[in-house]
């Protein structure tokens, strides 16, 4: 997995929701409630909106699962350090 520290700590990531693709399945909010939630419009959004240069959040297994199970692949993860897209399924 890109960016994993030698210590085994989860890499910090920024999660983004493509709201044009999102169909509001709620799969992500149920899988990773600490990272994703459903907005009043029924579509997913990150719990913490991350400005550029933010510290991000740890790539937990729940978050990786949420990305993996999204029915329309509307979620993407970017490494905080290098800005590269991370594919949790490898």
Partner 1 sequence: MSAENSATGARTGTATDPGPAGGGTAQAVLPPLHCLRLLEPGPPRLAALPTGTPVWLVSRHADVRQVLTDPRLGRAPLHAPGAPPVSLTPNLLDDPSSMLNIDGVEHQRLRRTVQRAFTPRAIARWRPWVASVVEGLIDELIDRGSPTDIVAGYTRPLPIAVISRLMGLDGLDSKRLEHWSDHALSATAYSAEAIRTAMTEFAGFGAEVIAERRAAPGDDLVSSLLAAAADTPGITEQQIVTLVIGLVVAGHETTMTSLGNALVYLLSDGHDAWQQLASDEQSAAAATEQLLRAVPLGDSDVLPGLLRRAVEDLDIGGVRIPAGSVVAADTDAANTDPEVFTGDLLTELFSPLAAPMYTFGAGPHHCLGAWLARMELELALHRLARRLPSLRLAGTVEAIDWRRGLLTRSPQHLQVSW
Q: Which residue, 58 or 71, is less far from partner 1 as judged by CB?
A: 71
Please identify, among the stretches 8-16, 37-45, 47-55, 56-64, the one whose residues bind partner 1 according to the rule CB under 8 A. Answer: 37-45
Closest separation in Å from C-beta 8 to partner 1: 25
DSSP assignments along 8-73, one per residue: -PPPEEEEEE-TTT-----HHHHH-TTTEEE-TTS-EEESS---TT---EE--HHHHHHHHH-TT-
Q: What pairs with residue 90 in β-bridges? A: none
DSSP letter at 76 equals E
* 37 sits near partner 1 (criterion: CB under 8 A): no
Confirm or reject binding of residue 72 to partner 1 (CB under 8 A).
yes
Q: Does 24 bind partner 1 (CB under 8 A)?
A: yes
Three-class SS of residue 81?
coil
Instruction: Single out the residue of 16, 25, 50, 76 in contact with partner 1 (rule: CB under 8 A).
Output: 25
Binding site for partner 1 (CB under 8 A): 20, 23-27, 30-31, 38, 42-43, 68-73
């Amino acid at each position: 997995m890109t960016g994993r520290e030698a210590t085994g700590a989860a890499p910090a990531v920024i999660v983004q929701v493509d709201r044009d693709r999102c169909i509001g399945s709620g799969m992500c909010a149920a899988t990773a409630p600490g990272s994703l939630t459903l907005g009043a419009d029924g579509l997913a959004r990150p719990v913490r909106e991350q400005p550029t240069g933010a510290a991000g959040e740890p790539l937990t297994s729940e978050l990786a699962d949420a990305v993996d199970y999204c029915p329309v692949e509307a979620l993407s993860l970017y490494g905080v350090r290098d800005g590269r897209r991370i594919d949790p399924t490898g």
